[in-house]
């Protein structure tokens, strides 16, 4: 027999016999018995003990496949690390997938809510448009009262609209013709503005250009938060094919400030309700205060602040009680270019240049400061009764600018010159000290440098004290020459 080259240690399994193992490993029973007799002292080939080791001699290379009954049991501890890693991978994948699903679900929910919100807004807009188109004007108790009266129905809103919303009315041309007796000349206030009477209320109707309709900032008139007692309200519009569009405003019973200071068609047609076409000193002081309060609201209360750009005596209106209201609010983009008039005469259309601040006139800068400059000019009109720009007394001279004239008077420190400059309609029925204060205030408002001009809030603070003082000393008007200098040596604005 060939000598064995290798010995294989084999764990005995139940049912193994020497002959079976010899056949399985391509050897002989005698070789297996001989190999085990040499290494084991007590070897019994007839009865192999299970789980004992048995030496099997191999004559050649080991067989690649063991018998099924003799395949050794794999140690389960070697598989645990692999199973643990597989579990971790599965857990991580599960977390990632779960996160992706959660994010996707959140995105879909948000998108659905936004879409639903847009649909609701669209429905609200459609409903509002339907209400506008219905234009049920005969039921005046269901509409907001814009006439400034104190009726029980004032301030009430259309039932289906939230308390902070008011609707602009859509008028028909037939209604406006009826309100003005087919635009009868007797109803003409001035220019393209007519006085109308519709459904028991007075209204002011202005014919305008088609392109101006889209420029009107109607958002200021559909939000009740922008209703201010010193601002004229826009009630509605009338747009009809083949005809000029119209804007319908709250009616100011006592006309414009320009009518009272400089006369006009409104005076001639007796649209002024008061029997006296003359403003007292106390009324002028109150009007100055009202205008400043409206500007303070536009510049310092509204967010973002609003620049009117068209402050002038022609756009300041007086109601039945002579409370001042600024007109053309929300129409800053409709302001015409008033810098193109070649002849700056006493024609009211050319006065507008006198209200324009230097930075706006030369550089087009728009800021609250340009309204303050224009307010200063209006204040000078109230004091003097003179127009912003006037012809010279002597032939051949240049036009006289009111803002430059007051600076020269204050610099002269001549009380007599200032008294001569004041509106002659006042006579001596005014406080000279207050007039000096107002003249200095107006000069500060018309400073070339906008940084030196007071704010609307500072003006209101100063005028509120003057109004209180005028009320307290209502029967003791001071018109004698004051011992105080006309111009303070310190900055005027610092005393506001």
pLDDT in tens, 231-273: 998 888 998 887 789 999 999 999 899 989 987 545 545 555 4
pLDDT of residue 492: 45
**460: nearest Cα among 329, 229, 294:** 294
CA pair distance 211, 334, nearest whole angstrom: 9
Residue written as token pair 């299970």: 50
The alpha carbon dihedral of 46, 47, 51, 52 has a sign of negative
Residue 246 main-chain phi, psi, to 5 deg: -130, 150
Are 287 and 279 contacting, i.e. CB atoms less than 8 angstroms apart? yes
Q: Tell me the pLDDT of the chain averaged across its residues.
A: 76
* 255-495 CATH fold: Transferase(Phosphotransferase); domain 1 (1.10.510)
Element (H, E) at 5: none
How many residues would you count in the chain? 496
pLDDT at 73 over 90: no
- Average pLDDT score over residue span 151-163: 32
pLDDT of residue 217: 78
CA pair distance 218, 330, nearest whole angstrom: 7
pLDDT at 429 over 90: yes
**Residue with the larger pLDDT of the pair 16 and 176:** 176
**Residue with the larger pLDDT of the pair 483 and 305:** 305
**314: nearest Cα among 259, 375, 374:** 259
pLDDT at 381 over 80: yes
pLDDT at 151 over 50: no
**Residue with the larger pLDDT of the pair 268 and 469:** 469
pLDDT in tens, 159-186: 333 344 456 889 999 999 999 999 999 9
Parallel, antiparallel or unpaired: strands 389-390 and 324-326: unpaired
pLDDT in tens, 302-321: 888 889 999 999 999 999 99
DSSP string, 248-268: EEE--TT-BHHHHHH--HHHH
Beta-ladder partners of 325: 317
Residue 465 exposed, middle or buried by CB count within 10 Å (0-12, 13-18, 19+) = exposed
Q: Which CATH class is domain 6-73?
A: alpha beta
pLDDT of residue 117: 65
pLDDT at 493 over 50: no
pLDDT of residue 118: 62
Percent over 90 (pLDDT), the chain: 38
pLDDT of residue 433: 94
pLDDT at 491 over 60: no
pLDDT of residue 164: 44
Are 296 and 456 contacting, i.e. CB atoms less than 8 angstroms apart? yes
pLDDT of residue 489: 38
For 170, the 3-state DSSP assignment is strand
């Amino acid at each position: 027999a060939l000598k064995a080259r290798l010995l294989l240690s084999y764990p005995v399994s139940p049912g193994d016999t020497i002959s079976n193992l010899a056949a399985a490993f391509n050897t002989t029973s005698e070789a297996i018995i001989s190999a085990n007799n040499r290494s084991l002292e007590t070897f019994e080939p007839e009865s192999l003990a299970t789980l004992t080791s048995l030496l099997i001699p191999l004559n050649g290379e080991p067989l690649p496949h063991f018998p099924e009954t003799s395949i050794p049991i794999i140690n389960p501890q070697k598989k645990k690390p692999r199973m643990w890693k597989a579990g971790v991978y599965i857990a991580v994948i599960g977390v990632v997938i779960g996160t992706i699903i959660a994010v996707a679900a959140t995105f879909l929910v948000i998108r659905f809510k936004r879409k639903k919100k847009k649909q609701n807004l669209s429905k609200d807009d459609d409903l509002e448009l339907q209400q506008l188109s219905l234009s049920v004007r005969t039921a005046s108790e269901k509409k907001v009262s814009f006439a400034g009266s104190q009726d029980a129905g004032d301030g009430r809103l259309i039932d289906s609209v939230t308390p902070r919303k008011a609707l602009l009315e859509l008028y028909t041309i037939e209604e406006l013709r009826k309100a003005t007796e087919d635009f009868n000349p007797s109803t003409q206030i001035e220019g393209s503005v007519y006085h109308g009477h519709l459904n028991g209320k007075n209204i002011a109707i202005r014919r305008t250009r088609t392109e101006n309709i889209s420029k009107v900032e109607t958002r200021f008139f559909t939000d009740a938060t922008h209703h201010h007692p010193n601002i004229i309200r826009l009630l509605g519009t009338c747009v009809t094919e083949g005809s000029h569009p119209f804007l319908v405003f709250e009616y100011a019973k006592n006309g414009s400030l320009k009518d009272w200071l400089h006369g006009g068609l409104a005076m001639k047609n007796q649209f002024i309700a008061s029997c006296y076409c003359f403003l007292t000193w106390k009324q002028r002081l109150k009007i100055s205060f009202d205008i400043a309060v409206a500007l303070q609201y536009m510049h310092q209360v509204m967010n973002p602040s609003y620049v009117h750009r068209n402050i002038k005596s022609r756009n300041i209106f007086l109601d039945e009680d002579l409370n001042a209201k600024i007109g053309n609010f929300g129409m800053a983009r409709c302001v015409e270019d008033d810098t193109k008039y070649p002849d700056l005469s006493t024609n009211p259309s050319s006065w507008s240049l006198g209200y324009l601040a230097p930075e706006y006139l030369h550089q087009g800068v728009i800021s609250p400061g340009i309204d303050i400059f224009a307010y200063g000019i209006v204040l000078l009109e109230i004091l003097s009764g003179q127009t912003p720009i006037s012809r010279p007394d002597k032939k051949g001279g240049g036009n006289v600018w009111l803002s430059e004239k007051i600076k020269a008077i204050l610099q002269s420190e001549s009380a007599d010159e200032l008294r001569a400059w004041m509106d002659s309609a006042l006579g001596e029925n005014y406080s000279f000290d207050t007039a000096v204060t107002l003249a200095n205030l107006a000069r500060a408002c018309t400073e070339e440098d906008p940084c030196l001009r007071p704010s609307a809030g500072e003006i209101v603070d100063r005028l509120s004290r003057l109004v209180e003082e005028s009320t307290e000393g209502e029967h003791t008007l001071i018109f004698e020459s004051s011992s105080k200098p006309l111009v303070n040596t310190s900055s005027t604005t610092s005393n506001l």
